[in-house]
Structure 1
Amino acid sequence: MTEPRRREKLRPAELVGLAALVAVFLGGVIFLVTRDLVLSLLFFGGTFVFDLVVLAMLMLAVTPNKPADGEAPPDTPHD
């Protein structure tokens, strides 16, 4: 079995970083508008969790699955 490449190992960190970046932006905007630190922290946390869930669902939709037992791989022509 081959070792995963560096890009494959860093993919989860990229997704968490992207979710954190969006959450920091929204938390900062809420803080600048309301000047309420607790409200901005609530929006930061909620946005971070929501973004992680949405990005995980999108990655599941994009990532190709292995063929089931007995099925031909998608590269081979069908009989």
Structure 2
Amino acid sequence: MTQPPGDFRPSRRDVLRPVEFVGGAAIAAVFTALIVLMTTRDWFLTLITAGGTFIVVLMGLALLAMTVKPNRGEHGDGTGGDPQRRDPSGPSAH
């Protein structure tokens, strides 16, 4: 995909969204690792559990994020242009 012409800049929320996913997965992995370490006292099993939990939670969060529809202003009408910057007097796709 190409960038739209002009001064397109993603919002701060859009830029930090991957950090939120990785942070959430890391928190879940650390929590699970602590539980496994306290119950088994086996470092190898703890590392495997932490890595598996990190990957599973990260993939789950990413898949859930893909199901969310963007705001109405972010939808296009299929013409490939930004609906808010389109010239209303120009040709339409309908």
Pairwise same-fold verdict (TM > 0.5)? yes
Structure-1-length-normalised TM-score: 0.79
Q: Distance in 2 between matches of 1:5 and 1:35?
A: 44
Q: Distance in 1 between matches of 2:12 and 2:34?
A: 32
Structure 1 stretches of at least 4 aligned residues deviating more than 3 Å after TM superposition: 65-68
Letter in 1 for 2:30: V
Of the candidates 23, 31, 37, which is equivalent to residue 17 of structure 1?
A: 23
Once the two structures are TM-superposed, the CA of residue 53 in structure 1 deviates from its matched residue by 0.6
Letter in 1 for 2:54: F
Cα distance change of structure 1 residues 8 and 28 upon mapping to structure 2, 3 Å threshold:
same
Larger radius of gyration: 2
Alignment partner of 1:6 is 2:16: no
For residue 38 of structure 1, give the secondary structure of its aligned residue in structure 2: helix
Q: Distance in 2 between matches of 1:60 and 1:13?
A: 16
Name the counterpart of 2:78.
69
**Count, aligned residues:** 71
Cα distance change of structure 1 residues 5 and 67 upon mapping to structure 2, 3 Å threshold:
closer
For residue 8 of structure 2, give the secondary structure of its aligned residue in structure 1: coil
| Structure 2 residue runs without a partner (length 5+) | 1-6, 84-94
Structure-2-length-normalised TM-score: 0.67
Q: Distance in 2 between matches of 1:68 and 1:46?
A: 41
Q: Distance in 2 between matches of 1:67 and 1:15?
A: 27
For residue 15 of structure 2, give the secondary structure of its aligned residue in structure 1: helix
RMSD, matched Cα:
1.8
For residue 11 of structure 1, give the secondary structure of its aligned residue in structure 2: helix
Higher helix share: 1
